[in-house]
Amino acid sequence: MDSVQLITKYNYPVEKHLVVTEDGYVLNIYRIPKRGTPVLLVHGIGDSSDSWMVLGPKGSLAFRLADAGFDVWLFNSRGNKYSKRHVENLSMKQYWNFSFEEMGSKDLPATIDYILSTTSEAKLSYVGFSQGTTIFFVLCSMRPEYNSKIKQAILLAPVAEIKNIKIPLINFYSKNYDLLTFLAAAGVNEVFASNVLLNIYHANVCNSKSPVRWFCQLNLYANFGLNKLGKFSGERLPIITSHIPAGTSSKTFLHFLQGYIFKSFRRFDYGEQINLNIYNSTIPPTYELSKIDAPVFLVTSESDWFSTVDDVKALRKNLRNIVNYLELNKTLDFTHLEFVYGVRAKSVINERVISFLRT
């Protein structure tokens, strides 16, 4: 099922909207229309709007927000399975030449302006998970005029500097950075691509009756630090894994990897000569987090290997308007994917999000 089918399956109204960015990318965004405050939900890396709905009406944040009367808008970044169009006939190399910077500096402004124009509202509320927080930081630092359009931002598992990331494969990726860069230049434009056969494989391997379910566990552990499949609903896990991945650019992945290698939240590194041409500096400039003055609520967990507490504490020192901060204790053992997909997301995350948005 796609996002529209997920929404209609549970008898919610749905609207499909097309947003065209200033550089010609065509984004599909979805709306569960209500009369309340517009809330924009922004997914993580290689994911899509599906992520906010696959737990069904009782467990998914999109449906819980709609039930609470909010006007729910579901974002899809350029390059994911819902947003692969461009107004021009670009080559593959041209199309995929973007990272999370363009998502934040171009996709989000176009989407926010579209929502505010459609609803005749002056501001919206923002909920981002993982990369959805990264591109919020890019937006409000590179396009600071958008701070005034954010009523409040709830940033789940926030990711800016990733000095202390602990996912098992990070050292492998960093040691092979030159090879990964070569592969991207050689035409491997997309990573975490949506694939029907892969989705079917995930759905079957992650089924509770699968004799090789440990493959599912290994995959989720190696990539996201999920240490127990029981943290996901046994009934929902095959559904969740059949919707991911949804695709993104190799450049996005490399941009995050650069952040770990260089221990800095900065713009894409093209090499000294190209950096000099683009940035007037051999070293890419850092994103100016001090320009962000929209009110933010940070939610982090001591058991998150991707958005680590140490990195989030460093982030806190650079943000000017933190109105709330929640640090989930290690005894909860609440890991990265659980923020959106976990069986405990309803009580630990969703109810807190709704309560905060009502303030």
Active-site residue list: 130, 336
Look up residue 284 and give its two tokens. Answer: 């890419």
Distance CA 193, CA 178 (A): 21
List the structure tokens of 246.
Answer: 């949804």
By CB atoms closer than 10 A (0-12, 13-18, 19+), residue 170 is middle
Measured CA to CA, the distance from residue 51 to residue 49 in angstroms comes to: 5
Angle at 193 between CA 244 and CA 177, to 5 degrees: 110
153: which DSSP letter? E
Crossing angle of helices 250-262/177-185, nearest 10°? 160
- What are the CB-based long-range contacts (under 8 Å, 24+) for 212-216? 216/241
Using alpha carbons only, how large is the chain's radius of gyration in Å? Answer: 19
Residue 9 tokens read as 């399956």
Parallel, antiparallel or unpaired: strands 322-328 and 296-301? parallel
Residues 181 and 106: their CA atoms lie apart, in Å, by 24
